[in-house]
Amino acid sequence: MNRVVVTGMGTINPLGDSVDSFWKNALEGVNRTGLVSKFDASKFRSQIACEVSHFEPEKYLDRNEIKRTDLFTQYALYSASQALADSGLDLQTIDPFDIGVIWGVGQGGMETFETEVEGYVKGDYTPRFSPFFIPKLLLNMASGMISMKFGLQGINYAPVSACATSNTALMDAFNYIRLGKAKVFVTGGSEAPITPASFGGFAAMKAMSGRNDDPKTASRPFDRDRDGFVMAEGAGALILEEYEHAKKRGARIYAELVGAAMTADAYHMTTPHPEGIGAAKSMQLALAEAQLNPADLDYLNLHATSTPVGDIAELKAVTKVFGASPNLWVSSTKSMTGHLLGAAGAVEAILAIKSITDNVIPASINIENLDPAIPQGIQIVVNQAMEKTVNVAMSNAFGFGGHNSTVVFRKFLG
């Protein structure tokens, strides 16, 4: 099968509007959680989020693109533009049918949906909706708009697996390239969920932190006093490319994607299996596909969202797969970024790749008292980034519905 390498990356998220700014802030332990500013959240149990406060779409998109797209698609266009520029691909010299887009979104155009329906109910523009209502809210519109903006005519669609979504997109792109169905993919995910209905729905489930009086410490995976995740927004984009194609054009290669897998818990709508059985199998399958042993893994970016049940279940899964490996260190960068839902996997994949290129592991911050339920032998990078040679990094993303997804990157060896 063909080898698959990463030749470009781009992002917009609460920690930065580029990969460089994101990485710098992640290593410094920056956290930008604050009170929700996009609407009045005072009626909800949780009133905090990790918002993108530095995005001005008119600087990057033309008026028609802005008019016709929801925020999740605008984030997608911005990060994809970054990644393509970073890759150095000359799109004029490549058959457009050789370049595809697989872009994951968990919820789609929630802001568009809420605004249009509220306007209709209030009679602001009865009896008609905007002609852009349906196109703006469709989950596949991000992948479609990326293809239109850059003239990419290969495989194009949007997978959905809740918070595992963008890892699913990476895995699908990986497999299509390995099978010779495409030379290049723009892949990743975006999410713009900080809206009254989306936020209120998660708040009603008591899934989000209620630490409203101290937002910056609210996302605290593995801490004894964690009480839920912090919602976030943004996008992450990666350019996956067939190795020989990248080699021929002299591309800079960040890392090689060597394994990816998915499983299902078949257990509960929203709660992971408490023993992490499905998560463990996903990691085992990804390692096997990469032809790696558990002892080969240097860093694991965990899905851990700061929920009481989820964090421990995942660590139990890690213990099943890796035992007490002295080489393996883990962290959850959601302690800094918050949880980007469908975009989380792609954004965290970027951090896993950067850990390989720079040999530094970002920390889990806000840990004051480690949960005594954490299995013995788990080595967590606590509160401060750690320098360590990273040859192999793994990233997990799990979603409501029992979806488990894992990707494995290796230092490029030529």
Q: Cα-flanking dihedrals φ and ψ of residue 241, to 5°?
A: -140, 145
Q: Choosing from 163, 245, 273, 403, which is the catalytic residue?
A: 163
The set of residues, in sequence order, having a beta carbon less than 8 Å from that of 123 and lying 6+ positions away, is: none
State the catalytic residue, choosing from 245, 273, 303, 403.
Answer: 303
Q: Tell me how far apart the alpha carbons of residues 217 and 224 are, in angstroms, rounded to a whole number.
A: 13
CA count, 13 A, side-chain hemisphere, 143: 27
Has 403 been annotated as catalytic? no
Task: Supply the DSSP string of 113-181, one letter for each residue.
Answer: HHHHHHHHHHTSSTT---TTHHHHH-TTHHHHHHHHHHT--S-EE---BTBTHHHHHHHHHHHHHHTTS
How far apart CA 32 and CA 16 sit, in angstroms, is 10
| Residues 290/320, Cβ–Cβ less than 8 Å | no
Q: What 3 state SS string does 173-196 have?
A: HHHHHHCCCCCEEEEEEEECCCCH
Closest CA to 187 of 14, 8, 406, 57: 8
Phi/psi region, residue 291 (left: phi>0; alpha: psi -120 to 50; beta: rest), is left
Cα first-last separation, the chain: 16
Whether residue 339 lies in the annotated active site: yes
Contact 99, 186 (CB under 8 A): yes
* 186 bridge partner residues: 101, 239
Confirm if 296 and 303 have CB atoms less than 8 A apart: no
Residue 197, both tokens: 């209905």
366 within 8 A of 31, measured Cβ to Cβ? yes
The answer to whether 273 is a known catalytic residue is no
Q: Which of 245, 273, 339, 403 is catalytic?
A: 339
Which are the catalytic amino acids? 163, 303, 339
